[in-house]
Structure 1
Amino acid sequence: MSAEEHRFPCETCGSDLRFDPGGDRLICDHCGSVESIDHGPWDRTEAIAEQDFYAALRAIASDVEMVEARISQCPNCGARIEFDSALHAKECPYCATPVVTDTGSERQIKPRAVVPFALTEEEARQAMSNWLGSLWFAPNGLTEYARKGRKLSGVYTPCWTFDADTKTRYTGQRGIEYTTTRTVTRNGKRQTQSQTKVRWTSVSGRVSRFFDDVLVVASTALPEKFRAGIGQWDLTRLEPYLPHYLAGFRAEAYTVSLKEGYEQGRAIMDRQIHRDIKFDIGGDRQRVQSVETRVSDVTFKHILVPVWLAAYKYRGASFRFVVNGQTGQVVGERPWSIWKLAFAAIIVALIAGVVGYTAAVNQG
């Protein structure tokens, strides 16, 4: 999956074609030529079939289903991005730090599927501008700079998805609330007091759930709040991996290994299993005492999902914005305007003073 595999020369003028977000085609920005994507003869379902997790762990040691990629790692945020080999220096799309691109290659598990970009850069910029415009106390200068500033970077972010069949045995307690009342005397007056108590009963049982496409973002370049904020992709729109979808875009290499990704996926599954157990226990309150889960038929996919990135340096501070390249959802580092905050504080103080003065006059 080298950068060269993502380049497709225009048959008319020889310029590099790029994938057209929202369309199933490649376009040439130089001469306007359009070429459809050849998906080949394969069946779509078979092309993005699940892979056996434990077999893949064994295969990694022998380099089966691996591909060599030219990777550059950002010294600031740790992002590992595939760059065009013709370039020797570039800014990291995640944090705008200068990156030297000729840092060697490494072997990675091949992507199995991709969620193609659905939003153009213009549409992503508009989504970001709308988000900034909705923020109170954001610096006007940053808002204008972001709207008119540098181009957004389209990057395919790596993810793991996991399927698993789980069967769980548990023990716990079911709590049933009931109310007791008693009469007390306070200050010479008799009062009735109510108190809610819980009657606990020991229970045990079993729950089962099949997990389908539990998604784990396989990148640590962005903080957790960013990964959680944009992590909703419609995986029914997955397409079999073709380098054509990456034409004109960058691809990030995963920094979360398959094994680490599965551990994170299991944590997501365990939280859902815990909710299932509490629902199964029933009653008004639940206590879960022991959980024993058997997991089978574990499969995975390595997929790429689209994000538009903007990293701005404004008055010595860095601000990052991420736009989901499929849905347009925006997550960013919230900027604050000291002047707007100070002005708001003055207004609040004035209002409080007027209210206090009016109340004093009315009492007088």
Structure 2
Amino acid sequence: MPDDRQNWPCNQCGADLRYEPGATDLVCDHCGARQPIPEAPGARIRALNEIDLALGLSDDVPPAQMEEVRITPCPSCGAQVEFQGAAHARECPFCATPVAIGTGEERRIKPQAVLPFVLNEVQARQAMTNWLGSLWFAPNGLQEYARKGRAMNGLYVPYWTFDAATRSHYAGARGDHYYETRTVMRNGKRETEQVRRTRWSPRSGWVARRFDDVLILASKSLPRGYTDNLAPWDLSALQPFRGDFLAGFTAEGYTVPLADGHATGREVMEGIIRQDIRADIGGDEQRIDRVETDWKEETFKHILLPIWMAAYKYNGKSYRFVVNGQTGKVQGERPWSAWKIAFAVLAALIVGGIVLAVTQSR
């Protein structure tokens, strides 16, 4: 069987095939031939099985879950650029810096599953253009500039997913609001007012939650805020990892080690546990003094999620946009039009002046 990460040749003309978003075929742009992506029986079940976290953290992952990959860090932005097939040089998808392959290979945890692209480049560009058009105070020419800009890059971004069964004991307090009436003197007059007080009572108890597929970005090349805001992802559409889905696209190697990803995942889960505790305590306010969590059945997966990315220079400054390749949700940096902001401020001052003049004339 060919290497999962090499280029796939067309059976008709020998040209490289590419995966067509939203389909289950590989397409040849040279002769138009289409080849279905085969799926081995039981592959989906095997691919979506979790790996014991303890094995991953102790570098004892089963050999079948490991692979040798050719990865070279970008000298400009540090992204881990993967090389496929016979390629020895390419552009970094994040900053367009030329990258030449280094010597040797690196042993890494293999992606178990991939979420194939649903949107093609035309659809992703339209989603981005619509998003730019909805921005307040954006320069008038930006939308048209982006529409005519350079091609977007289709990129598979690495993620860790974490599962855990938790049971947490907590101690804290419940605050219930009540009101007291008191008399005060204002301008020589006696008035009554309601003052809110809080009655606190101790609380303790247990909460339990089973976490499934907590997503943690395994890349440092994109701001986490960008990728977090691309959620939600429909992970029920995950497919067993095959190089076919990567044909014509770029895959980034993970730069966040499993241990670091797990630490971030724990923080996310602990935040949700505290929400559960507050709901269990009830009342108008809650105070959490202590939480002790028992973590069991911790597992993980390494998966790839699809993102379309574009970078544009506008008035000498670079702006980067990312589009969820499954849903079309957009995030990114945006320029501001100084003229539009100044006009809005001026208009607000004029309106405020008119209102003030009318009020004073009465």
User: Which residue identity does 1:242 align to in structure 2?
Assistant: R
Q: Is the 8 A contact 2:157 2:304 kept in 1?
A: yes
| Secondary structure of 2:196's aligned partner | strand
| Secondary structure of 1:343's aligned partner | helix
Distance in 2, Cα, partners of 1:102 & 1:3: 18
Q: Is the 8 A contact 1:113 1:240 kept in 2?
A: yes
Distance in 1, Cα, partners of 2:150 & 2:249: 16
Shift of 1:125: 0.5
Match of 1:272 in 2: 272
Distance in 2, Cα, partners of 1:319 & 1:187: 58
Match of 1:101 in 2: 100
| Secondary structure of 1:5's aligned partner | coil
Distance 1:186 1:338, change over 3 A: closer
Distance in 2, Cα, partners of 1:359 & 1:195: 34
Q: TM-score, structure 1 length as denominator?
A: 0.92
Match of 1:171 in 2: 171
Q: How does 1:91-240 map to 2 (within 5 A)?
A: 91-94=91-94, 96-104=95-103, 105-240=105-240
Work out whether 1:336 is the aligned partner of 2:336.
yes
Shift of 1:347: 3.5
Q: Is the 8 A contact 1:90 1:100 kept in 2?
A: yes
Q: Name which of structure 1's ranges 265-274 and 195-204 shifts more when overlaid on structure 2.
A: 195-204
Count residues in correspondence. 360
Shift of 1:64: 6.6
CA-atom RMSD in angstroms: 2.2
Q: Is the 8 A contact 2:5 2:84 kept in 1?
A: no
| Secondary structure of 2:193's aligned partner | strand
Distance in 1, Cα, partners of 2:220 & 2:231: 13
Shift of 1:147: 0.6
1:270-313 alpha-carbon deviations (Å, 9 max, x no partner): 00010111111112211100110010110111000000010122
Distance in 2, Cα, partners of 1:298 & 1:4: 28
Q: How does 1:293-332 map to 2 (within 5 A)?
A: 293-332=293-332
| Secondary structure of 1:311's aligned partner | strand
Distance in 2, Cα, partners of 1:4 & 1:167: 40
Shift of 1:354: 4.5
Q: TM-score, structure 2 length as denominator?
A: 0.93
Match of 2:39 in 1: 39
Distance in 2, Cα, partners of 1:170 & 1:358: 59
Distance 1:344 1:306, change over 3 A: same
Q: In structure 2, list runs of 5 or more residues that go unmatched.
A: none
Match of 1:26 in 2: 26
| Secondary structure of 1:140's aligned partner | coil
| Secondary structure of 1:294's aligned partner | strand
Match of 2:284 in 1: 284
| Secondary structure of 1:82's aligned partner | strand
User: Which residue identity does 1:173 align to in structure 2?
Assistant: A
| Secondary structure of 1:254's aligned partner | coil
User: Which residue identity does 1:33 align to in structure 2?
Assistant: A
Shift of 1:339: 2.9
Distance in 2, Cα, partners of 1:88 & 1:331: 32
Q: Is the 8 A contact 1:83 1:101 kept in 2?
A: no
Q: Name which of structure 1's ranges 6-15 and 176-185 shifts more when overlaid on structure 2.
A: 176-185
Q: Is the 8 A contact 1:308 1:323 kept in 2?
A: yes
Distance in 1, Cα, partners of 2:35 & 2:7: 13
Shift of 1:146: 1.2
Q: Is the 8 A contact 1:20 1:27 kept in 2?
A: yes
Distance in 1, Cα, partners of 2:261 & 2:16: 35
1:24-77 alpha-carbon deviations (Å, 9 max, x no partner): 111111111011111012252233111111022234589773212122323333
Distance in 1, Cα, partners of 2:219 & 2:67: 18
Distance in 2, Cα, partners of 1:231 & 1:84: 29
User: Which residue identity does 1:81 align to in structure 2?
Assistant: V
Shift of 1:356: 4.8
Shift of 1:246: 0.6
Q: Name which of structure 1's ranges 73-82 and 343-352 shifts more when overlaid on structure 2.
A: 343-352
Q: Is the 8 A contact 1:3 1:82 kept in 2?
A: no
Distance 1:352 1:91, change over 3 A: farther
Distance 1:331 1:133, change over 3 A: same
Distance in 2, Cα, partners of 1:315 & 1:103: 36
Shift of 1:352: 4.1
Match of 1:261 in 2: 261
Identical positions, percent: 51
